[in-house]
Amino acid sequence: MAESETVLEHHFRDLQQQREVSELGMWIFLMTEVLLFGVLFTSYTVFRHSYPAGFAAGSRDMETTIGAVNTAVLLISSFFIALSVYGAQTGGRKKLLWGLAIGALLGVVFMILKGVEYYDHYQHREVPGILFDYAKPNAHGVEIFFYLYFVMTGIHAIHLTIGICIVVVILVAAYRGRYSPLYHNPVEIVGLYWHFVDIVWIFLFPLLYLIDLKR
Amino acid sequence: MSSEVIADAKPPEVTVNYLNEKYGLKSWLLTTDHKRIGVLYMISITLMFFIGGFFAVLMRLELLTPQGDLVTAQTYNKLFTMHGVIMVWFFLIPSIPAVLGNFVLPLMIGAQDVAFPKLNLLSWYIYVVGSLFTFYVVVSGGVDTGWTFYTPFSTAGSNTHVIATTCGIFIIGFSTIISGMNFIVTVHKMRAPGLTWFRLPLFVWSLYATSVIMVLATPVLAVTLLLLAVERTFHVGIFDPALGGDPLLFQHFFWFYSHPAVYIMILPGMGVVSELIPTFARRKVFGYNFVAFATFGIAFVGFLVWGHHMFVAGESLYAAMTFSFLSYLVAIPSAIKVFNWTATLYKGSISYDTPMLYALGFIGLFTIGGLTGLFLAALGLDVHVHDTYFVIAHFHYIMVGGMVMAYFGGIHYWWPKISGRMYPEGWAKLAALIVFLGFNLTFFPQFILGYLGMPRRYYAYAPEFQVLNVMSSAGASILGVGYLLPLIYLLWSAKYGKKAEANPWKATGLEWQTSSPPPKENFAVTPIVTEPPYNYPTLENPLKESEQPGKQSLEEVPVG
């Protein structure tokens, strides 16, 4: 905690440079994340092309209502995180603290609903590799659909969990008054990360839940 | 970080530098100084280099005779796999970027440190953790899939330590990503005033392009290996045809990373050579802009050629033709570089110091490696030489003849800056010569072997191949001597060598404007750059801008 005396780290010229550095760093990190999820989206495309009927059948077994609610939950959480960034920039302490708190809370709500869904699929014996038993046709396609469903939403959930943890850490620091309009890089870059995780879900939801709407 | 005191106590008559500023293991293991982290990387990478080399020695011993008599077929599979895994991920990829890049990048751009010093240290620790996994694999019996981990053998066939190996690679990937991220941000945001993009040394350009590949390609490998591990553990997935998957998809993902990774391994070497050639020819680089843009040309087109690894794996003819064409295309920027280096030599005042010997060796060997790459990019010929020793020879000419030569050249060139001592020039020249001869004797016969049809990855071979194989093994032992010599004399010189001056090569880069070894904060005063790079006085304009042949002279510190 050497930098608690001064927020400017020793190797930077000024706070402006320090802020630009952390922001650019986060954007590049997000670029790596795009490529990371890119592999999964590519696999999804390839196998949806190979097993269109299996993917449609798998998608019909999704809890679309929970998925839709979760989409709304994440979007609203992003609003509150954006609010907290605005609060940090303008010195609005209430906005900063409540924004982070509600954002993290909504993240937890998302995770709980996701857990309910996972449990549901387990009950229906739809967890490939652990418990999978599908008697209807297109079993191969359905199995791959559920495999990709668990991998994609699982990696997304890991990202969200990390996001929640970081937001809580930032919240504690904000509560102790670490951030000011002059120095609030951590709030800004965790905001970028949060929105990214949100956007990934915006793609996951239609691809996984809405393949065959005329059910 | 409370060492601003040193910056205030500026008069540098007692040379406080990054090496003697603090002592003790803890001061090294908890350092955030990019120079010390570079040295930490150098030590760990050297260790991995000799472990990887040890496996190669065993392979060459086995191949002395046509029969499989030294090791079993299974052991041989493990030997080449461990050699590949260690050399690719634990030596080549981090070699120049993490050692030389870490050390000189901030110095070259006049910065105090990289943009994220703590992440920089973290990347070294991640490297160490990844290496521990690999050590575990080595002692517990190895892995036999080949460094490419092709499915379904890696997911369903092999009963060796696939998961532990891929874990190690997965982990070390984060170290690569962090380094890449760090370098990109450093180049963008930490340059000294006046150091515009087109005043950057070419090594910085190549590190930048390398970093872009690192951050874009590595995540793809990470997820692919994750999927592989999941498939192997839970017997469900998308790569095994028995499970409804597609093994070719794995190859696409793997080579989408691993082909650009080849450029992670060669671009920094090209950058080092672009530093060495102008320094020892005393000339401005011919066509600086072209070399800089060619770097990006290679980085960009390098992302579009991965399919040439799968010409015989069952990809469609049209895909194969496209990938073949694009692979030819990547030769253009590579050739631009070779021509520009040679043109730089023209009318130069060349001195043959050791780094220059390595640079010249690089140009020749890289040219052979590159041209044989064109053979392999040709669809028809590739079918003939696919999976033969021709391919082995080709990529060793690039990776060992190119990258390792450049790494050694760079190590010798910056050794005075790193250690503050000069290496023994006579021994170094001898070692460079031995490396060059040993290398060619090892790998040139392999071109012929491959063309005659000797397949790779076999521990026994037809008797008519023996002469060439014995030549290759003999060359490998000479090469081994060439690699051990620098280890010995560099270590010796770190203690007993002649003290180095700030700028022993009379070179122009900013890193030579500070003392050798540099102080912790690199520069007593942030330098201001007013000149283009490599601004050596030439015959045509002998004294232009050469009141200060370097950049801005800060205090010229007469060290030693």
Architecture of the domain spanning B28-512: Up-down Bundle (1.20)
C-alpha closest to that of B521 among B14, B16, B11, B13: B16
Angle at A110 between CA B215 and CA A106, to 5 degrees: 95
Taking one residue from A and the other from B, the number of pairs with CB-CB distance under 8 angstroms is 103
- Chain B neighbors of A4, CB-CB under 8 A: none
The secondary structure of chain A in percent helix, strand, coil, rounded to multiples of 5, reads: 80, 0, 20
pLDDT score of B547: 46
Q: What pLDDT, in 10s, does the model give residues B349-363? A: 999 999 999 999 999
The answer to whether residue B249 neighbours chain A at the CB level (below 8 Å) is yes
Q: How many Cβ atoms from other residues are within 10 Å of residue B515's Cβ?
A: 27
Say which residues have a Cβ less than 8 Å from residue A208's Cβ, sequence separation at least 6.
Answer: A59, A62, A67, A149, A152, A153
Is A80 a member of any domain?
yes
Integer CA distances (angstroms), B448 to B64, B389, B425, B442, in order: 16, 8, 35, 12
Does position B2 have pLDDT exceeding 60, yes or no? no
Mean pLDDT estimate for chain B: 92
Whole-angstrom distance, CA of residue A34 vs CA of residue A62: 25
pLDDT score of A137: 86
Does position B144 have pLDDT exceeding 70, yes or no? yes
Whole-angstrom distance, CA of residue B161 vs CA of residue B224: 17
Does position B6 have pLDDT exceeding 60, yes or no? no
Look-up of token digits 């989206």: A41
- Chain B neighbors of A40, CB-CB under 8 A: 223
Higher pLDDT, B439 or B516: B439
Is A9 a member of any domain?
no
Please report which confidence band the pLDDT of residue A136 belongs to, taking 50, 70 and 90 as the band edges.
Answer: confident
The answer to whether the CB of B185 falls within 8 A of the CB of B119 is: no
pLDDT, average across residues B386-401: 96
- Chain A neighbors of B180, CB-CB under 8 A: 28
Is A96 a member of any domain?
yes
The answer to whether residue A28 neighbours chain B at the CB level (below 8 Å) is yes
pLDDT score of A135: 85
Which DSSP symbol is given to B146?
Answer: T
Whole-angstrom distance, CA of residue B472 vs CA of residue B393: 11
Q: What pLDDT, in 10s, does the model give residues B310-343? A: 999 988 999 999 999 999 999 999 999 999 999 9
pLDDT score of B318: 94
Does position B12 have pLDDT exceeding 70, yes or no? no
Q: What pLDDT, in 10s, does the model give residues B463-479? A: 999 999 999 999 999 99
Query: Helix B162-189 crosses helix B73-85 at what angle (to 10 degrees)?
Result: 20
pLDDT score of B7: 45
Q: Which of A13, A29, A47 sits opposite B238 (nearest CB)?
A: A47
Largest CA distance in chain B: 73
- Chain B neighbors of A148, CB-CB under 8 A: 238
Q: Give the residue on B whose Cα is nearest the Cα of A3.
A: B1
C-alpha closest to that of B101 among B201, B218, B26, B16: B201
Closest CA of chain B from A29, distance in Å: 7
Q: Cα B4 vs. chain centroid, distance in angstroms?
A: 35
Whole-angstrom distance, CA of residue B374 vs CA of residue B335: 12
Q: Which domain holds residue A157?
A: 15-209
Q: Give the residue on B whose Cα is nearest the Cα of A132.
A: B236
Mean pLDDT estimate for chain A: 92
Assign residue A102 the CATH number of its domain: 1.20.120.80
Is A38 a member of any domain?
yes
- Chain B neighbors of A25, CB-CB under 8 A: 115-116, 181-182, 185
The answer to whether residue A65 neighbours chain B at the CB level (below 8 Å) is no
Please report which confidence band the pLDDT of residue A138 belongs to, taking 50, 70 and 90 as the band edges.
Answer: confident
Tokens of B153: 């053998």
Is A148 a member of any domain?
yes
Buried (b) or exposed (e) across B245-269, using 16+ Cβ within 10 A? bbbbbbbbbbbbbbbbbbbbbbbbb
Tokens of B282: 């005393």
- Contact criterion met (CB < 8 Å) for A35 and B220: yes
pLDDT score of B549: 47
- Chain B neighbors of A128, CB-CB under 8 A: 234, 236
C-alpha closest to that of A58 among A202, A203, A206, A211: A211
- Chain A neighbors of B224, CB-CB under 8 A: 39
- Chain A neighbors of B3, CB-CB under 8 A: 10
Domain count, chain A: 1
What residues does each domain of chain B span?
28-512
pLDDT score of A215: 55
Say which residues have a Cβ less than 8 Å from residue B27's Cβ, sequence separation at least 6.
Answer: none
- Contact criterion met (CB < 8 Å) for A2 and B111: no
pLDDT, average across residues B406-432: 96
Integer CA distances (angstroms), A146 to A56, A128, A131, B27, B155, in order: 11, 7, 11, 50, 19
Closest CA of chain A from B399, distance in Å: 26
DSSP per-residue letters across B479-514: HHHHHHHHHHHHHHHHHHSPBP-S-TT---SGGGSS
Percentage with pLDDT > 70 across chain A = 96
The answer to whether the CB of B513 falls within 8 A of the CB of B524 is: no
Residue A126, SS3? Answer: strand
Q: What pLDDT, in 10s, does the model give residues B78-115? A: 999 999 999 999 999 999 999 999 999 999 999 999 99
Q: What pLDDT, in 10s, does the model give residues A17-28? A: 999 999 999 999
Does position B554 have pLDDT exceeding 90, yes or no? no
Look-up of token digits 């120049």: B96
Please report which confidence band the pLDDT of residue B3 belongs to, taking 50, 70 and 90 as the band edges.
Answer: very low
pLDDT score of B402: 95
Is A215 a member of any domain?
no
The answer to whether residue A23 neighbours chain B at the CB level (below 8 Å) is no
pLDDT, average across residues B116-131: 97
Is A128 a member of any domain?
yes
pLDDT score of B201: 96
Does position B545 have pLDDT exceeding 80, yes or no? no
- Contact criterion met (CB < 8 Å) for A36 and B184: no
pLDDT, average across residues B16-42: 93
Rounded to 5 degrees, φ, ψ at B2 are -95, 35
Look-up of token digits 């070779």: B338
Whole-angstrom distance, CA of residue B349 vs CA of residue B326: 38
Closest CA of chain B from A58, distance in Å: 15
Does position B149 have pLDDT exceeding 80, yes or no? yes
Percentage with pLDDT > 90 across chain B = 87
pLDDT score of B14: 55
Q: Give the residue on A whose Cα is nearest the Cα of B521.
A: A11
Which DSSP symbol is given to A209?
Answer: H
Whole-angstrom distance, CA of residue B510 vs CA of residue B108: 5
C-alpha closest to that of B506 among B271, B202, B283: B283
Q: Which of B3, B4, B188 sits opposite A24 (nearest CB)?
A: B188
Largest CA distance in chain A: 66
Those of residues 218-237 in B touching chain A at CB distance below 8 A are: 218-220, 222-224, 227, 230, 233-237
- Chain A neighbors of B185, CB-CB under 8 A: 21, 24-25, 28
pLDDT score of B470: 97
Does position B11 have pLDDT exceeding 50, yes or no? no
pLDDT, average across residues A145-158: 96
Tokens of A213: 């709407």
